[in-house]
Amino acid sequence: MTPGGPLPTGFAVRLDPRARRREDGAVLLGGSPLRLLRLSPPARALLSGDRLVVRDARTAVLAGRLLDAGLAHPDLPAVGGAQDDVTVVVPVRDRPAALARLLTALRADPATARAPLVVVDDGSVDPAAVVRVAGACGVRVVRREVSGGPAAARDAGLREARTDLVAFLDSDCVPRAGWLGVLRSHLADPRLALVAPRITGLPGGPTGWTAAYDEVAGALDMGEHPAPVRPWSAVSYVPSAAMLARRVALGGGFDESMRVAEDVDLVWRLVEAGWRVRYEPGAVVEHEHPVATAEWLRRRAFYGTGAALLAARHGPAVAPVVLAPTSAAVWALLVAGGRRGWAPAAAILAVDTVRLSRRLAGPGRPPEAGFAAGLVLRGAVSAGRSLARAVTRHHWPLAVVLLAVRRLRPWLLGAAVVDAAAAWWPVRRRLGPLRFAVARRLDDLAYGAGLWWGAARAHDLRALRPTRPPRL
């Protein structure tokens, strides 16, 4: 279905606090990827503060542009009361205790106390246990005799839904109070297909040495900042463990042939079709993370195998490294050129600075070389971090081989240290550096092994290839 119309009257957006305003508010810088938006005088007058309320066609267009650029986010009150227009779909395979915990929480929440709930039993070994738990909460069960995986289970529940909205919750999740109302408010945007909450660890659940790492760097936690969700951005997907969607936008739903990465595929198909997808950390769903080390590593490796499936469907959107040609040249010179590479690398950055300063110059304003130099340097550092991440996570089998090259060895080892240190610093008060670094390296080894195994099994190396930034 074609996405809906413009933002309605009363819809409000607020500028991202990390966005920078320049030239007395005429220029906005922020978003992911980083964008610079120059406002026309009428648009500048409409956005006099950091909040914009849609009142007419002009404000609707401006608010939509700010949303799509990642420079602003919806600023709406949570929808209160019972959410009777939402069907909650819970796929499950065995795990009756976790299912009972989730269904009890949903029935105790005023928002979902009377909402339609559908449990999809995806080939449980003991289906009677699932039926007993669901029956105790007054929930009907859709039984699949043969397990088809989470995508097939969710689609079975989607076909049962008769409401405009559908929420998907995995059985090992427990939503916090108010989660649905916060997500529901986003559906005031007629172009929004799907919105997902933040997923954190379940307090009081089983503990293990990996649990502390998952609390600060979990694979399901997309962070503390709201964001548009799309390829090549800071939040490129949201996990299907918890999400709220407009039923008509989903069409046939998830790709049932995919046992992994089906959530990424769905999000990217929605974005390609012109829908908006958002991440909203103001709503929180708690998740029981795996605690056994072997299970934890298997799960990470399993996630890695999905990259090849995504590459077959979405091409370069799954690329492990996104580099502009100039950034690639700078780092190639620094790594391979030794001391002789520093001068030409600096020359490339200088040329980029001159070009960017000319582009940034406003009407009647001279080029801002200092500001442009800061942006160019920021881009080069970001590219270096992206390369370090790829070396330690996506391409570590190749990096291990290249350790035999003496000139490259310091750079490869340095990349591992810098990657761990940069990721640990924001969470340094919550987890020690050694524990974090060990867990991060194990996480990366498992994911990278799965990535290479998936690419080899598919006879498709596109998931390993770098790409250049898309045109915005």
Q: Which residue has the tokens 């290839």?
A: 465
**Does any domain span residue 206?**
yes
Nearest-CA neighbor of 87 among 263, 199, 246, 249? 246
Residue after which a domain boundary falls, among 240, 274, 291: 291
CATH classification at residue 223: 3.90.550.10
Q: Are residues 155 and 95 in the same domain?
A: yes
What domain range includes position 419? 325-464
**Does any domain span residue 80?**
no
Write out pLDDT tens, residues 40-71. 999 999 998 999 999 999 999 999 999 999 99
Question: Which pair of structure tokens corresponds to residue 47?
Answer: 């956005």
Q: Are residues 158 and 246 in the same domain?
A: yes
Q: Residue 280 pLDDT > 80, yes or no?
A: yes
Q: Are residues 25 and 145 in the same domain?
A: no
Mean pLDDT for the chain?
93
Q: 455: helix, coil or strand?
A: helix
Query: What are the E-state strand segments in 275-388?
Result: 276-287
**Does any domain span residue 405?**
yes
Are the beta carbons of 311 and 236 closer than 8 angstroms?
no
Q: Which pLDDT score is estimated for 205?
A: 65
pLDDT-wise least confident of 180-189, 368-377, 411-420, 421-430 = 368-377
> Which residues are registered as beta bridge partners of 36?
29
**Does any domain span residue 176?**
yes
pLDDT bucket at 207, cuts 50 / 70 / 90: low
**Does any domain span residue 306?**
no
Q: Are residues 348 and 396 in the same domain?
A: yes
Q: Are residues 126 and 224 in the same domain?
A: yes
Threshold 0.85, pTM exceeds: yes
Q: What is the DSSP string of 223-284?
A: -SS-EE--TTSSS----TTEEEEEHHHHTT-S-TT-SSSHHHHHHHHHHHTT-EEEEEEEEE
Q: Are residues 203 and 230 in the same domain?
A: yes
Please, what is the end-to-end C-alpha distance for the chain in angstroms? 24
Q: Are residues 186 and 284 in the same domain?
A: yes
The total of structural domains in the chain comes to 3
**Does any domain span residue 6?**
no
**Does any domain span residue 447?**
yes
d(CA 32, CA 276): 15
- Report the run of H or E that residue 369 belongs to, with start and end: helix 369-389
Q: Are residues 250 and 158 in the same domain?
A: yes
**Does any domain span residue 317?**
no
